[in-house]
Amino acid sequence: MSRALIIVDVQNDFCEGGSLAVKGGAEVAGAISEYVDAHHSQFDYIVATQDWHIEPGGHFADNPDFIDTWPPHCVAGTRGAELHPDLDTEYIQAYFQKGQFTAAYSGFEGILAPEDAVPTGDRKPGAMPLPDDAAAFTASTFADEDAIGLDDWLQSHDVEDVVIVGIATDYCVMATSLDAVQAGYSVTVVRGLTAGIAADLDDAYAEMELGGVDLA
């Protein structure tokens, strides 16, 4: 049995200074880096997800309700879609991009990004290597019938146990964790390595536990 860490959406737009900032996002980015540095040997694989919006339809709104509609964020190829600079990418082995043409909260809606379209090694802010036309490139990748989803990738690497951290606790972390349970994985969410939108996250934690997620 293999074990994987899934780092959910630790992106500039979801951290302080971003277009859809979550309080404590930058702090969580640094805390995840410290956790990975200390515990990477406990995982066979470490992967990350990214919101990667091209034309997500009604997901974006001029007057968002911050429940189902949101201000523009994590637009493909922009700095806001990049991983936060305090998140060390050294041990991340694969990236899964989601929400290209629709709202997508779960990492299990994402597809594997090509190696030349994601940050690797010692990344500097603003240095994410992208094709000249990132949106067109991602659109063609997303339409590829052979595109690899997160579940396919995890299964191909014999992963049965996943630990989930990231942003936001009550949206993408929760959706990813519940989908992971439904897909048959043993799932743990590390509360101290997430940041949520709501001031009170008790309902989100209760929904995750009810759905079969272990909270650490």
User: Domain containing 106 — which CATH number?
Assistant: 3.40.50.850
Would you state the pLDDT for residue 116? Answer: 63
Number of domains in the chain: 1
Crossing angle of helices 174-182 and 202-210, rounded to 10°: 10
Would you state the pLDDT for residue 127? Answer: 37
Q: Are 152 and 159 in contact (CB under 8 A)?
A: no
Question: Beta-strand (E) ranges in the chain?
Answer: 2-8, 45-51, 94-98, 111-112, 159-167, 186-195, 214-215
User: pTM of this prediction?
Assistant: 0.89
172 annotated active-site: yes
User: Residue 115 — pLDDT band, cuts 50, 70, 90?
Assistant: confident
74 annotated active-site: no
Find the catalytic residue in 15, 51, 151, 172.
Answer: 172
Find the catalytic residue in 9, 51, 88, 151.
Answer: 9
Residues of the domain holding 164: 2-215
9 annotated active-site: yes
Would you state the pLDDT for residue 185? Answer: 98
